[in-house]
Amino acid sequence: MWTSPVILGLLLTASGGTPFPATSSGSVTIPLQELLPLYAKHQESAPLAPPTEALVVKSQLKGRLTAEALLVEAHFEVEVLASDRWTQVRLLQLDTDTYLTGVPALQGATVGALGGQLTLVTREPGRYAFDVSLALRPTGSGAERQAQLRFGAHVSPVPLRLEADATAFTLVDPLASGSEDTEVYPRQGVLRVGWRNAAAPKVARQVVRPPLEPSIPSAQATWVSTLEGKATVRVRYSLRLDREQELELTLPEGHRLERVFLDSVPLIASVKDDTLKLKVAPTRFGETEATLEVVLARDLGVFHLSGKLKLALPRVSWPVATLRARAHFPAVFNYRRDGGSMEEYEGEQAEAVESQTPLPGKVIHFRQYLVAASAPTLELGYSVDISQSYFR
């Protein structure tokens, strides 16, 4: 028989037996063959402590360069093994230029800054997966910048997958690989990224063209009349303008408006107090030319054996550089210029103008330069042409 009061008391307590009432002293005697099974059962019920409190089983880092900072997105998966006591897992060093911009909300654990480090704190075992956002302010002078990130004691260093726009940044450390994604590997437990901001391209100064002063470089007019005095006036204006403008025409006395065309497209127009107001613009965007055609009608009266004709063209609100006119009147008369602002001319220029639109009758050519704020006028005298008569 072997007696051990202390060991027996511990065995009774561990095995769930009811202890004896407390006494100041005492002893018990138990056979050895009964003591050994109780001792072996006590050793089996004691739990084994884990080899470590926690393990970081996965960590990933992604970064993106901006003009002001290096932005990092970190993903961690931590397996906590210890229970019934507080466990701290130190993940990253938070230096003076490293700022937390986003932390997760976990059930049963907390992630945040503790003692200058990004730390997971918990007292419950389990697997925790979470993401953290950081901003690393660069250091350096001039165009070159540098930022670094240090790992915590419980994290094995891993590479950083860096995105950098090659048109905006030039990597210095590590050297650029030629693609937008670069693997930055840690050295001595520290990730270092150096870059240089690309020079901003020089933008050519936009030259604002001053508004184009509307004008009429040239105009062509044609009178056509029958022997009964029914006359038609067709005036074709070549316009120069770069935006919509208002053009005003004052019709000569006794004339009525027949039709108006802008680049061969009919316009709806009305005359008020012998004044025609139009909104004109180039047909195609970016062009600076347009053509306005105005057709008028007038009753000249019946031609006699001789007489005078007073002709006029509309007064235009824009200046006209050159005006050329043709008169196609009955061929049985001779015509002479007696007055007016337009002058008669002949020669090759007159023949070229006449060949554009051949019309019947006797043709007379007139022109005027630099017409501004006035109506071109012409006075013609006529008499019967007896040059072909047998009686002279």
In-domain check, residue 39:
no
In tens digits, the chain (392 residues) has pLDDT values of 444 444 444 444 444 444 445 555 667 777 877 777 777 776 665 567 788 889 999 999 999 988 788 999 999 999 999 888 899 999 999 998 899 999 999 999 999 999 999 999 999 999 999 999 999 998 876 678 889 999 998 999 999 998 888 777 788 878 665 556 788 899 888 999 888 877 665 666 776 777 788 999 999 999 998 888 889 999 999 999 988 899 999 999 999 999 999 998 898 888 888 899 999 988 888 788 999 999 999 998 888 888 899 999 999 999 999 999 999 988 889 999 999 999 998 855 555 555 455 677 789 999 999 998 889 999 999 998 777 655 44
- Number of domains into which the chain is organized: 2
Does residue 64 sit in the same domain as residue 167? yes
What's the whole-model pTM score?
0.48
In-domain check, residue 279:
yes
In-domain check, residue 128:
yes
Does residue 135 sit in the same domain as residue 257? no
CATH code of 135's domain: 2.60.40
> What are phi and psi for residue 371, nearest 5 degrees?
-95, 120
Does residue 60 sit in the same domain as residue 186? yes
Q: Are strands 190-197 and 169-173 parallel, antiparallel or unpaired?
A: antiparallel
Does residue 282 sit in the same domain as residue 226? yes
- In this prediction, residue 361 carries a pLDDT of 78
Does residue 184 sit in the same domain as residue 250? no
| Cβ-proximal residues to 163 (8 Å cutoff; 6+ apart), any chain | 62, 63, 64, 65, 180, 181
Give the other-Cβ count within 10 Å of 35's Cβ: 17
173-182 per-residue burial string, b: 16 or more CB within 10 A, e: under 16: eeeeeeeeeb
Q: Residue 164: which domain range?
A: 54-197
Domain final residue, candidates 147, 167, 197? 197
CATH code of 355's domain: 2.60.40.1730
Does residue 187 sit in the same domain as residue 242? no
